[in-house]
Amino acid sequence: MLDYVEHLINDTPDELLKGECPTPAANQLFQVNERCKKLDISSAILYHHLTAQLLYLGKRARPDLLLAVSFLCTRVQSHDEDDWKKLGRCIRFLKETKKDKLTLQANNKKAVQWWIDASFAVHPNMRSHTGATMSMGRGSPISIASKQKINTHSLTKAELVGVNDAMYMVLWVRHFLEVQGYDIRDNIVHQDNQSAIKLEKNGKRSN
């Protein structure tokens, strides 16, 4: 995968590689300036190409890029100069950490653990963002970062939608491992919102 990273960096214009970045995204990642100048055709094509490469990389070996990449993917139809800069920051971070490796280890082969969270109304259309990751001990073989498809009225509801967005993978992973011969006894979802936890456990009666 290091060769793939080197190829991606080589495809990137020098103007996007200037400077250092401690993280793949800044605090203003989800902010969109409607008055910002749109990219020309050649830059737009390159933006789409590099974003697709980052998505492939993030899904397979670098889940730390997924938050930034998931936003960049939402902008492929209306990219502007701000998005171009955000793309550059993500690639500069990748360049500085290109030798980082994803280490996987299963400490308990009978338990699958998921951590699912949501950021409320962070997108310009006031939709929330779902984040989820799975582990069986060390490292995360599956991570999800995606824009929610519906608007919600509160953080609790955004958390519920987030669990719903990730539930297909929560169930699929368990079934997949059982078919491989593993005896999965615990399939645990961790959350940090007590109201959402009660609704998920008890249904509407706890609302």
**Mean pLDDT value across the chain:** 92
Model confidence over 131-150: pLDDT tens digits?
999 999 999 999 999 999 99
Joined together, the tokens standing for residue 119 give: 């950021």
d(CA 147, CA 69): 11
d(CA 77, CA 197): 36
d(CA 102, CA 99): 10
Model confidence over 80-134: pLDDT tens digits?
999 999 999 999 999 999 999 899 999 989 999 999 999 999 998 999 999 999 9
Predicted confidence (pLDDT) at residue 207 exceeds the cutoff of 70:
no
User: What pLDDT is recorded for position 162?
Assistant: 95
User: What pLDDT is recorded for position 52?
Assistant: 96
User: What pLDDT is recorded for position 20?
Assistant: 87
Question: What 3-state DSSP class applies to 56?
Answer: helix
User: What pLDDT is recorded for position 201?
Assistant: 87
192: closest CA among 168, 171, 162?
162
Predicted confidence (pLDDT) at residue 72 exceeds the cutoff of 80:
yes
